[in-house]
Homo-oligomer: A and B are copies of this chain.
Amino acid sequence: MNRASTSEEEPRWLTEEEQRVWRSYVHAATLLEDHMDRQLQRDAGMPHVYYGLLVRLSESPQRRLRMTELAMHAKITRSRLSHAIARLEKNSWVRREDCPDDKRGQFAVLTEQGTEVLRRAAPGHVTAVRNAVFDRLTPEQQKALGEAMQIIAEGLQPNEAGADLPWLR
């Protein structure tokens, strides 16, 4: 049943057109991620992923989230999150707190200073996103992009199909 996935059979190669699409995608995704990383590194002293963590915390009740929950939202491993939070803790942008209900548990809590950093970095970030993406695409193109990515994401969701579960490995 799973023979096809590991066999030597000739796969269905990508057509010219599919290749163009895939390469455009990889190309743009690389450039975009680089761009955001650099912008945030310059303006806020952290990479895009870290910024995402702070944003997520800022939107959570009590501006706090359990480690695993945060990792799931951010789609990163718990290990990576541990390291990241350690770094953010050094910056005093995040603080850890024990979970009363579960003695194994930890909360990551956004500090005042973290909130402040976010407040100052947000405008530049939105502007960067707008310049790079929304100012260049028609509303239809934006919609189409969103839909396509949505579908792709669904296919890679760790639930269903029991594929790889980054944060559960």
Known contacts A26-B52, A151-B137, A153-B31; is-contact A127 B5 (Cβ 8 Å): yes
Instruction: Write out the residue numbers on chain B whose beta carbons fall within 8 Å of the beta carbon of A25.
Output: 133, 145-146, 149
Q: Does A164 count as interface, using CB distance less than 8 angstroms?
A: yes
| A152 CB, nearest partner CB in chain B, Å | 5
Q: Is the CB of B130 within 8 A of A141?
A: no
What string of 1s and 0s marks CB contacts (under 8 Å) between A64-87 and chain B? 000000000001000000000000
Stretch among A14-22, A88-96, A100-108 lining the B interface: A14-22
* A29 CB contacts on chain B under 8 angstroms: 29, 32-33, 149
Q: Mark A131-152, 1 if CB is under 8 A from B, else 0.
A: 1111011000111111111111
**A window 6-60: CB within 8 A of B:** 8-14, 17-18, 20-22, 24-35, 38, 52
What 5 additional pairs, Cβ within 8 angstroms, besides A21-B145, A30-B75?
A29-B29, A132-B152, A136-B151, A137-B148, A141-B147
| Between-chain CB contacts (< 8 Å), 13 pairs | A12-B126, A13-B126, A14-B134, A18-B134, A21-B143, A22-B129, A24-B147, A24-B149, A25-B133, A27-B149, A31-B157, A32-B156, A136-B151
Closest 4 CB pairs of A and B: A21-B146, A144-B144, A28-B153, A28-B149
